[in-house]
Structure 1
Amino acid sequence: MDINYRFNNNHKRETVLLMHGFISDMSSMDTVCKDLASDFNILQVDLPGFGSTRSTGIDYTMDELSAGLASLTESLGLEKVHVLGYSMGGRTAISFLINHPKKVLSAVLESTSPGIENMHERAVRYEIDQRRAAHITDDYETFIKEWGQMGLFDSQTQIDGNLLRKQKENRLSQDPLEVADSLIKYGTGVQRAYWQDLKHVDQRVLLLAGEKDDKFKEINKSMAQLLPYPQLKIVNGTGHNIHMEARKKFAIIVLGFLRGGCNNGKRMADTQRI
């Protein structure tokens, strides 16, 4: 798999692999890249179907995508990386963590899920994703408008208009055929669920959910019960996209976690509101 990437070599000892959310590309994580650059090298990627990484014409699964990311880190001489993923990128980060644990120092998962464990519910979601894919290819601009009006993003009405404009421009810059193809190939309705795999994760994992994002708050609370070394933080005043809605707070939390080193053998399941 040919994955478009940007490696910001800041001559630091450790590297963070950043993975963006749905209907965006690596540039949507540029502020996170800047805020972590004081301490880490940053590897940014365009996930398949976004930016300059193709999805169409390639047969792959989520597990094969994580294998492609592992090959990329090897080609850059990176033995281990921290992984940080937002939403769809968080699902990809979980896949990388589960399938290639020896390549992961720690994981930061923002507003994400290990997938849908119930087979019937997953099949229902796949049907929804198929309809969404058809909508994307038929009328992309209308889909983008309706996507932005989902309850997940209600809290974004309070943030700076320039940020919303840049987000919309980034979404509209994506290729609808590629976006639709990605949804069918590694969307939540088709990827395998990693819930039970979480029990065997040896690395520290930071789970982040927005106070106003009720669905993902509950998902992350359940994840924290399975992970051996979790830290769960609920970020006050935010919804799904924490790094955009509360940039400074997000950076403080993430840098504090990443600087913490390896796990100390103690379970940290406490939920903190920040």
Structure 2
Amino acid sequence: MELNYRFDDNGSEETVLLLHGFLSDMSSMEPAVGHLTGHFNILLVDLPGFGDTKAGGDYSMDDISDALAALIGSRWGAVHVVGYSMGGRVAVSLLTNYPGVIKSAVLESASPGISDPSERKERQELDRKRADSILSDYASFIDSWEKMGIFQSQDSADAGQRMRQRENRLAQDPRGAAESLISYGTGIQKSYWQDLPEISVPVLLLAGEKDGKFVAINQRMEELLPNGRFEIIPGAGHNIHMEAADKFGIMVLEFLIGG
């Protein structure tokens, strides 16, 4: 699997890998870059099905971890990682499968998957229905996606930011987006809950105050991670790096510098 990426060499000895969420590409993580540029090199990646990373055929979350680990190991040896939502799930996979390539991790509105078999089956069916909707009428799917309760807190966000987010979503390839749900969506991916106690590197967990589902998930994750710390961001929902960009950037930078 060949991943499209961008590396910003800022003359630092350390690099931060940023992994974006569903229905977006590497450019959606730009709000986090400004706070980190003065201290770290930046590695941005288009995850499979998005941006310029095309991933047709059969592939899985493990294949993505393999590709990322190969990319990191070939040039940087080990990096820090910041993963948002879908990108956070990918980051958990990396932490589990290739602990040697990750120095520390920030998981924003992320989860380790679904452990309950019946819930996994329900989510797989939901993801299949969503994939069908994407292929049927992508613009209408985006409209319905943006009306989900998980994103309602963005109504008070800057109008320009919301427009850029929508344009980025609409710019994605519908087939790639649909394939991502079937290949490494929350329902189909392996559950990493049982692996969390084996992750020894420092992990900062972030969830927005208005994102109750992920607040609960991350509270459970904090209990299982040996070196994990959970912070709730006041006033924010699911997309913290957009809704509270400065707060997010400062917290991430302080964590990465402090360890």
Structure 1-normalised TM-score? 0.93
Aligned to 2:27: 27
Q: How does 1:1-274 map to 2 (within 5 A)?
A: 1-57=1-57, 59-75=58-74, 77-261=75-259
Task: Supply the AA of the counterpart residue of 2:59.
Answer: Y
Q: For residue 74 of structure 1, report the CA deviation from its aligned partner.
A: 2.1
Aligned-residue sequence identity (percent) comes to 56
Aligned to 1:271: none
- Specify which structure has the bigger relative contact order, considering alpha-carbon pairs within 8 angstroms and separated by 6 or more residues: 2
Q: For residue 20 of structure 1, report the CA deviation from its aligned partner.
A: 0.1
What is the RMSD computed on CA atoms of the aligned residues? 0.7
Q: For residue 120 of structure 1, report the CA deviation from its aligned partner.
A: 1.2
Using the alignment, how far apart are the partners of 1:233 and 1:72 within structure 2? 30
Using the alignment, how far apart are the partners of 2:117 and 2:125 within structure 1? 13
User: What secondary structure is seen at the aligned counterpart in 2 of 1:198?
Assistant: helix
Q: For residue 33 of structure 1, report the CA deviation from its aligned partner.
A: 1.6
Structure 2-normalised TM-score? 0.99
Q: For residue 55 of structure 1, report the CA deviation from its aligned partner.
A: 2.1
Task: Supply the AA of the counterpart residue of 2:69.
Answer: A
User: What secondary structure is seen at the aligned counterpart in 2 of 1:259?
Assistant: helix
Using the alignment, how far apart are the partners of 1:95 and 1:83 within structure 2? 12
Q: Deviation string for 1:105-134 (max 9, x for gaps)?
A: 000000010000011110110000000000
Using the alignment, how far apart are the partners of 1:136 and 1:215 within structure 2? 24
Using the alignment, how far apart are the partners of 2:187 and 2:245 within structure 1? 30
Number of residue pairs the alignment of both structures matches:
259
Using the alignment, how far apart are the partners of 1:30 and 1:23 within structure 2? 15
Using the alignment, how far apart are the partners of 1:201 and 1:256 within structure 2? 21
Using the alignment, how far apart are the partners of 1:119 and 1:95 within structure 2? 19
Q: For residue 168 of structure 1, report the CA deviation from its aligned partner.
A: 0.3
Maintained 8 Å contact 2:54/2:176: yes
Once structures 1 and 2 are overlaid, which stretch shifts more, 112-121 or 30-39? 30-39
User: What secondary structure is seen at the aligned counterpart in 1 of 2:150?
Assistant: helix
Task: Supply the AA of the counterpart residue of 1:233.
Answer: E
Task: Supply the AA of the counterpart residue of 2:67.
Answer: G
Task: Supply the AA of the counterpart residue of 1:114.
Answer: P
Structure 2 runs not aligned, ≥5 long: none
Task: Supply the AA of the counterpart residue of 1:205.
Answer: V
Using the alignment, how far apart are the partners of 1:162 and 1:36 within structure 2? 22
Higher helix share: 2
Q: For residue 260 of structure 1, report the CA deviation from its aligned partner.
A: 1.1
Which consecutive segments of 4 or more residues in structure 1 shift more than 6 A? none
Q: For residue 231 of structure 1, report the CA deviation from its aligned partner.
A: 1.0
